[in-house]
Amino acid sequence: MKNGLGNIDDRAIHLASLAVQAMLYEVSCNPSPGLVSKVSSGAHSDMDYFTFLDSATALINPLIRCAEAGLSYDRPQEIFRQIRRIGQLGECQMFHKTAGVNTHKGTLFLMGICCAAGGKAIQSGTRFSSLQSIIQDMTEGLVEQELNSRVSELKNLPTSALTHGERLFLTYKVEGIRGEVQRGLPTVFDFSLEFYKENQELNQNSRLVQTLLGIMQFNEDTNILHRHSFSVLKEVQERAKQIIDMGGMRTPAGVKAIEEMDHDFCRRKIGPGGSADLLGVTVFLHLLEGFMDGG
């Protein structure tokens, strides 16, 4: 299924295009408390909506390559090793495009895995329902290899040499994005994907914001933990739950509460970027399900 343009598989191009579409949807919705949107820089002073647009265009090529890695007969863990290398190059392209600003590092990790898993499912002739187990196979043992087995080593490294995820694991024992993918993205497959579908009668912007708040109820957002504390994270989760219970984007009171949360988070520099990443993945997997299963 080559298209004649450098022998790139059309299916890989399509998977990557859905991933970028989802990324653009995520950054375009508002009010998105503390997050960059088309009307606000959120809690950030070093990036805006156009920084995210620039970054998304930089990730088209690495996401195509991740999908191509999945469209093979390689074993899942070998595919994962390949896309980690692709991801490192992708990060360099992102930082070059954004003048060093980290807009999509977590997103690239998640979307790269999902593009590769989608490619693997398509190559194997299986349906969308196989994706979660493919992701689990790809990332089996990741937390043990990169966190648990390295505790002594990590403790002896200077703080500046640790990643955000490694620091948070040592401080809070939070497994972060590694734990989420190793478990097969349960926040998405067990909650937000169905939640997004349940809100399909809302307009697209409201549906995205509603799903973001739904994710924020449960997500151990490492972006918040990195910049604030566990108590702030619990506050964010509880406020999101209260707003969902009020109806969220379905009721005037819910909309007002979200707007107030946005103003508060911008003032306090609280940016739930991890939840935003999972919103993007939710949208991508919804689009991918429709592509794979013909829905």
Per residue in 141-156, pLDDT (tens digit) is 999 999 989 999 989 8
What pLDDT is attached to residue 255?
A: 98
| pTM of structure | 0.95
Question: Do you know the residue count of the chain?
Answer: 295
What pLDDT is attached to residue 5?
A: 52
What's the chain's average pLDDT?
94
* Average pLDDT score over residue span 243-269: 98
Per residue in 120-139, pLDDT (tens digit) is 999 999 999 999 999 999 99
d(CA 64, CA 59): 9
Per residue in 20-50, pLDDT (tens digit) is 999 999 999 999 999 999 999 999 999 999 9
- Quote the Cα angle for 136-61-38, to 5°: 90
What pLDDT is attached to residue 7?
A: 76
d(CA 293, CA 54): 31
Report residue 163's pLDDT band, with 50, 70 and 90 as the boundaries: confident
| % of the chain at pLDDT higher than 90 | 88
d(CA 210, CA 206): 6
What pLDDT is attached to residue 21?
A: 98
What pLDDT is attached to residue 2?
A: 53
- Confidence check: pLDDT of 252 > 60: yes
Per residue in 90-107, pLDDT (tens digit) is 999 999 999 999 999 999
- Confidence check: pLDDT of 1 > 80: no
* Average pLDDT score over residue span 191-201: 98
What pLDDT is attached to residue 294?
A: 75
Q: Find where tokens 């349906």 sit.
A: 127
d(CA 82, CA 92): 16
What pLDDT is attached to residue 76?
A: 97
- Confidence check: pLDDT of 293 > 90: no
* Average pLDDT score over residue span 63-83: 97
* Average pLDDT score over residue span 193-198: 98
* Average pLDDT score over residue span 223-231: 93
- Confidence check: pLDDT of 241 > 80: yes
Report residue 178's pLDDT band, with 50, 70 and 90 as the boundaries: very high
**Residue 250 CA from chain centroid, whole number:** 25
Sequence-distant (≥ 6) Cβ neighbours of residue 41 within 8 angstroms: 47, 48, 49
Report residue 160's pLDDT band, with 50, 70 and 90 as the boundaries: confident
d(CA 117, CA 144): 21
Question: Would you say 38 and 48 are in contact if contact means Cβ atoms under 8 Å apart?
Answer: no
